């Protein structure tokens, strides 16, 4: 049987990472990998996480399974983090939370719930979006339709085109929206634009699904959440996939949650039961370590303060890098300051991307999407010098 399988081509980004690892250039820079790095080029374990883990190590007396829906401290903490401190009382029986293996797990469980409710439902995804959205949603049997999001020529969100396209969405459709800092372009919806989309959702009857992976890395935990919270308070139903990989630094622990606000308590219970059934079929029980640590941080005032302080430092470091790049590269790159989070599209030519890689050891996706957190005090000048070289010379 197994001899019938075909060898699949490697993921382009994984291939880029492999090429970077083999490059002997001592000044090489990896701007393709999508993880936070500090000013030393490391992806550290946050101090709040280390303290939570130390407490867990000292107190954990069993490795028995978590409840199917996850650790209660974690799920209640995520509800307050994503939808606000008063969310439990505000939404009451309309809201449910299920712990998942990362934000990807939340997206897939959400997709499975949608497919069970409406087999083959149409899901609108942005252009550009992350490549994993396609298999996570399409793999559940959902039909994908794209809507325009980013104007590459002018380096800005093309909201008019987005709004016009989503005007074709109908009741029974799902629209996947990006939370703060999440689109690979770094261009975010404003609160006013979230409000306009909320009105459109109410008129057309589609169901919004929000992918939230960078809360706290844009303007702050509360400001970043304002748009999807506005929407959740007004639409009949919404799904939110939330990840702790970035803002807690729990990448390898696969810690996330699916939040569902339904029309009423009966519908919420149905969503919850279907989500747990889908999880049972896919991965059976949720992993514990990351959720126990994050749950402790979200429930402990001192740990929470430490975490928020560290998150603010991460946010300011990324903003500082953006300012440094824009200042060094000049007027054509001022859009980098206007964008938020770790990512931006440089918009340079393919031959310039190749030259940066081959001559300078600077690696980025072919789309020119870069992770600005890969830049720091030790390599920012080198990167900007290389960029100016390839931009100003014919080669």
Give the predicted TM-score (pTM) of the model. 0.96
| Structural domains of the chain in order of their starting residue, each with its CATH number | 11-45+305-392 (3.90.1150.10), 65-299 (3.40.640.10)
Residue 211 falls in the annotated catalytic set: yes
- Could you report the average pLDDT of every consecutive run of 10 residues in the chain (395 residues)? 90 85 95 95 97 97 96 98 97 98 98 97 97 95 98 97 98 98 97 98 98 98 98 98 98 98 98 98 97 98 98 98 97 96 97 97 96 98 97 73
Are 255 and 102 in contact, with CB atoms under 8 Å apart? Answer: yes
Angle between helices 159-166 and 191-204 (to 10 degrees): 10
Number of H helices, E strands in the chain: 15, 13
Quick one: pLDDT at residue 11? 82
Q: Which residues does 252 contact at the CB level (< 8 Å), separation at least 6?
A: none
Vertex 54: Cα angle to 49 and 55 (nearest 5)? 100
DSSP bridge pairs for 369: 345
Catalytic residue among 124, 224, 246, 300: 246
At residue 394, the pLDDT reads 58
371 torsion bin: left (phi>0), alpha (psi -120 to 50), beta (else)? beta
Q: What's the rounded Cα separation, in Å, for the pair 363 and 374?
A: 10
- Residue 24: per-residue pLDDT: 95
Q: Which listed residue (211, 224, 228, 300) is catalytic?
A: 211
pLDDT score at 395 = 47
What pLDDT is recorded for position 38? Answer: 97
Alpha helix (H) residue ranges in 133-190: 133-138, 159-166
Q: What is the pLDDT of residue 156?
A: 97
Residue 54 CB contacts under 8 Å (≥ 6 apart), including other chains: none
| Identified catalytic residue from 28, 71, 130, 188 | 130
Quote the CA–CA distance of 257 and 102 in Å, as a whole number. Answer: 7
């Amino acid at each position: 049987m197994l001899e019938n399988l075909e060898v699949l081509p490697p993921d382009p980004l994984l291939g880029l990472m492999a090429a970077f690892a083999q490059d002997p250039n001592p000044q090489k820079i990896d701007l393709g990998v999508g993880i936070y790095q500090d000013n030393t080029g490391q992806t550290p374990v946050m101090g709040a996480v280390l303290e939570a883990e130390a407490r867990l190590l000292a107190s954990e007396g069993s490795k028995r399974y978590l409840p199917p829906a996850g650790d209660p401290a974690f799920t209640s903490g995520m509800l307050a983090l994503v939808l606000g401190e008063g969310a439990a009382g505000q939404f009451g029986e309309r809201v449910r939370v299920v712990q998942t293996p990362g934000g990807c797990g939340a997206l897939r469980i959400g997709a499975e719930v949608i497919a069970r409710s409406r087999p083959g439902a149409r899901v609108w995804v942005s252009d550009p979006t992350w490549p994993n959205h396609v298999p996570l949603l399409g793999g559940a049997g959902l039909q994908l339709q794209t809507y325009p999001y980013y104007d590459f020529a002018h380096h800005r969100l093309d909201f008019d085109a987005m709004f016009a396209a989503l005007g074709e969405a109908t009741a029974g459709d799902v629209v996947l929206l990006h939370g703060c800092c999440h689109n690979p372009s770094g261009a975010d919806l404003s609160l006013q634009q979230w409000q306009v989309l909320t009105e459109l959702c109410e008129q057309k009857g589609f169901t919004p699904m929000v992918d939230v992976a960078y809360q706290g890395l844009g303007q702050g935990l509360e400001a970043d959440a304002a748009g999807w919270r506005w929407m959740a308070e007004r639409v009949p139903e919404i799904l939110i996939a939330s990840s702790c990989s970035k803002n807690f630094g729990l990448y390898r622990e696969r810690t996330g949650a699916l939040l569902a606000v339904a029309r009423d308590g009966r519908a919420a219970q149905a969503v919850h039961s279907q989500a747990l059934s889908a999880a049972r079929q896919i991965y059976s029980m949720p992993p514990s370590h990351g959720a126990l640590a994050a749950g402790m941080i979200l429930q402990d005032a001192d740990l929470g303060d430490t975490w928020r302080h560290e998150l603010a430092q991460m946010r300011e470091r990324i903003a500082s890098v953006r300012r440094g790049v824009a200042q060094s590269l000049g007027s054509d790159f001022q859009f980098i300051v206007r964008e938020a989070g770790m990512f931006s599209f440089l918009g340079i030519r393919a031959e310039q991307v190749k030259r940066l890689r081959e001559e300078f050891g600077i690696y980025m996706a072919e789309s020119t999407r870069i992770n600005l957190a890969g830049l720091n005090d030790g390599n920012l000048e080198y990167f900007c010098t290389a960029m100016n070289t390839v931009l100003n010379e014919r080669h």
